[in-house]
Structure 1
Amino acid sequence: MQSNELSNIGLLKEIAEFLNEETDMEQMLQGALQKLLEGTLFETGWIFFIDKKGKQQLIAHDKLPNALKRNECMHLQKGGCWCVSRFQNGELKKASNIIECKRIVNARKKNNEDTNDITHHATVPLLSGQESFGLLNVATPNTIRFSEGELALLESVAFQIGSAIKRIYLTKQEQQVALVQERNRLARDLHDSVNQLLFSVTLTARGGVEMTEQQEIKDTFKEIQNLTQDALTEMRALIWQLRPKGLETGIMEGIKGYGDILGLTLTINVKGVINLPGSMEETLFRIAQEALNNIRKHAGVLKAELYLTVTLTDVLLVVKDEGCGFHMNESKNLPSIGLQSMRDRAYSVGGTVDWVTEWNKGTEILVRLPY
């Protein structure tokens, strides 16, 4: 066996061990790419994730020339090219030499920085069975074509990476299932214990009002009844948050059902076809829940308007009330943990949340998520 074959086997083993140990997607891809470049003559590389709609994301890169690194890898982030087009059409099945890369050409034309004599690259799809995730591209200065052996090595590494990507996705799905199961368990426990106990206290307080003639004691029992009823409403809302009944019939039905639990009257307006991924529905639902919670607790009104607009690229949710509003300070610090939670949920999927509010002029919450 020749020395370079032994070297390739050692490299594949090292990369496989690293992939098996890593659980964070971006760190895994970045580390695998670095090991590939360190163990071969490939000088630079980058990895695209490409979804079913053709949207691409530069998720890892290493040792890029200045022309490609410029403006946060602008030339790699935007525009089309031969390898991405072939991938989207399902025509790219194995490692291939690219005759001329449009991205590298554009970078060389528009920037003064050098491309380090990189003019061409090789590309290979990241696959696992019938699933495709994206592309691995590598390049070397003054190299137009890579040998069959180099392409074969690239395919082997891509196969390892594709399998590792699939493993991480499956692990996340298992975690989501476990999370849902735990939420369901907590919801059942709360319903069977605390919820029933609060209901019993409400009935007892109501009976206490009827059993006494002393007005002071009556007032005390009435106060206990009112406080317990509020706590019962809060508990039912919490149970609904843990195990929302209604998402199976659509997100807007789920939000409307939650509004009913809180005693809110909602006017709902929808534009576009609602056919969202489960994770996006969950994010929108949780943000809407927090918005409705804030209206019930702080706005001083029991009515709200919801507008959901779905386009080819974005989902826009607007929650509007005509309540008392609140003050946003100049430093943009959010005045409650709930508002920060809404922003964090949106940011976690690449979206944004903004507020338009003034004292005694109501509040409008604008949520935009990439679709």
Structure 2
Amino acid sequence: MKETEHSNSSILKEIAELLNEETEIVAMLKGALVKFLNGTNFETGWIFFIDAKGRSELVVHENLPEALAHKDCHYLKKGGCWCVSRYRNEELKKASNIIECQRIESAIAADVGDHAGITHHATVPLQSGQERFGVLNVASKDTVRFSEDELALLESVAFQMGSAIKRILLTKQEQEMALVKERNRLARDLHDSVNQLLFSVTLTARAGIEMTEEDTVKEMFKEIQHLTQDALTEMRALIWQLRPKGLENGLLEAIKVYAEMLGLQLHVTVSGVLQFPSRIEETLFRIAQEALNNVRRHAGVAEAALYITVTATDILLVIRDEGRGFVMDKNTKLLSIGLQSIKDRAKAVGGTADWVSEIGKGTELLIRLPY
């Protein structure tokens, strides 16, 4: 008994050290799961993150048998399961034995590979205080029921994982707050210095036009005034990108005001209720900003259309113009900085970005985000 307790303490210590060192959630969970399996009689394991709407995502797995790993873990990702259902209903409070698992049963029934004697699993919620993140499932060959000691150890590891997830999320939140603070500082500096200087140049050019009688000099001052006005518009757009104003009044209002600042007439159509998490809302706003910037700079038109459709699980954002359009070289995967930024922002929240464009017939940007 003492030897087992010593062994368990060593496992928990090793896992705690790893959890304290890692700064990325998936890598942290992967490493902790590997250590746990190597130091116990459990042979395989997998972790689901489950969001506030009850949607599960398989984020980590280790040493899965062929049947469960088949086609990118198809049978683990699809169908129902007691552990996920109990978690969604807030009935899963501690480490528990699973009497039956529909996902494992489906994989075995499909006969898509060796299930290595894995027929049942134990499960435990991943949480920190009142915050819940998902479930950790582990299994062993020809094991229907795990002992109380094994479940207690599993619960201890899950507690460590939950605390580490919370720590990393808090760290990321602090980093994001620091980034917002720095963006605000840069925006203020740009507004107070460069923006004011450009405005002064515009006034000086206007005065020069009125003071001279020579047509050549007048034209030169007009050109300076025109270029400076363009630079002012670009600068204001940059300041907006650093510190978006208007989001407190709603996403649509912020996008409309931004389009107006760029000198674009924006036609808006909405289907569904616009109530999103703050991260999704800012992502939509940033994507719309970049898309409208592209319209102003490249499309050669002064109007665009924006459509937002909200379903129970997804948001579809479409921005369309009838401008010049473009054709991307099929032999290169390089995108413009603007398009790459849009693609990266969508991908960062689990979404997709696509576009359709044709010379002389405009461009349509299609964004789909889960929420």
Task: Report TM bin, short chain.
Answer: over 0.9
Matched residue SS, 2:273: coil
Partner of 2:158: 158
Deviation at 1:333, TM superposition (A): 3.3
Secondary structure at the aligned position of 1:60 is classed as strand
| 1: CA distance, partners of 2:358 / 2:100 | 56
Unaligned runs of 5+ in 1: none
Q: Please name the residue that 2:147 is paired with.
A: 147
Aligned to 2:242: 242
Which residue matches 2:44?
Answer: 44
Distance 1:131 1:78 in 2: 25
1:321 equivalenced with 2:315 (yes/no):
no
SS of structure 2 residue aligned to 1:363: strand
Letter in 1 for 2:2: Q
Which residue is equivalent to 1:96?
A: 96
The Cα offsets for residues 181-208 of structure 1, whole Å up to 9 and x where unpaired, read as 1110000000000000000001011111
Distance in 1, matches of 2:366 and 2:108, equals: 40
For structure 2, the residue ranges without an aligned partner over 5 or more in a row are none
Partner of 2:4: 4
**Secondary structure in 1 aligned to 2:305?**
strand
Cα displacement (A) at 1:142? 1.2
SS of 1:117 mapped into structure 2: coil
Which residue number corresponds to residue 172 of structure 2? Answer: 172
User: Deviation of residue 332 (structure 1)?
Assistant: 6.5
CA distance in 2, matches of 1:26, 1:335: 29
User: Which residue matches 1:308?
Assistant: 308
**1:284 corresponds to which letter in structure 2?**
L
Quote the RMSD (CA, aligned, Å): 1.1
1:212 and 2:212 are equivalent in the alignment: yes
* Correspondence for 2:127: 127
Percent identical: 68
* SS of residue matched to 1:79: coil
Task: Find the counterpart in structure 2 of residue 202 from structure 1.
Answer: 202
SS in 1 for 2:133: strand
Show CA shifts across 1:310-368 (max 9, x none): 11111001111111111133347355211111111112222111112111111111111
Q: TM (normalized to structure 1)?
A: 0.98
- Mapped to 2, the partners of 1:163 and 1:336 lie a distance apart of 41
Question: What is the letter of the counterpart of residue 81 of structure 1?
Answer: C
**Residue in structure 2 matched with residue 279 of structure 1 by the alignment:** 279
Using the alignment, how far apart are the partners of 1:59 and 1:352 within structure 2?
19
TM-score (norm 2): 0.98
Residue in 2 that maps onto 1:184: 184
1-side partners of 2:123 and 2:324: how far apart? 58
Q: Report the Cα distance in structure 2 between the residues aligned to 1:100 and 1:2, rounded to whole angstroms.
A: 33
Deviations 1:127-152 (A, max 9, x none): 11011110011111111111111100
Once the two structures are superposed, what CA deviation does each residue of 1:239-273 show, in whole Å capped at 9, x if it has no partner?
11111111111111111111011011111111100
CA deviation after TM superposition for structure 1 residue 81, in Å:
0.5
Partner letter of residue 352 of structure 1?
A: T
Alpha-carbon distance between aligned partners in 2 of 1:332 and 1:347, rounded to the nearest angstrom: 20
Amino acid aligned to 1:342? I
- Partner SS for 2:284: helix
SS at match of 2:5: helix
Aligned equivalents of 2:193 and 2:112: distance in 1?
70
* Aligned-pair CA distance for 1:113: 1.3
Q: Which stretches of structure 1, 4 residues or more, deviate above 3 A after TM superposition?
A: 331-335
Write the distance in 1 (CA, Å) between the matches of 2:332 and 2:101: 44
Counterpart code for 2:123: T
Secondary structure (helix, strand or coil) at the match of 1:244 reads coil
Q: Which moved more, 1:345-354 or 1:160-169?
A: 345-354
Q: Which amino acid aligns with 1:7?
A: S
Figure out how many residues of one structure are paired with residues of the other and give that number. Answer: 371
Distance 1:165 1:342 in 2: 28
Distance 1:311 1:212 in 2: 61
Q: Distance in 2 between matches of 1:71 and 1:208?
A: 71
Which letter maps to 1:309?
Answer: T
Q: Distance in 1 between matches of 2:186 and 2:171?
A: 23
Structure 2 counterpart of 1:212, which letter? T
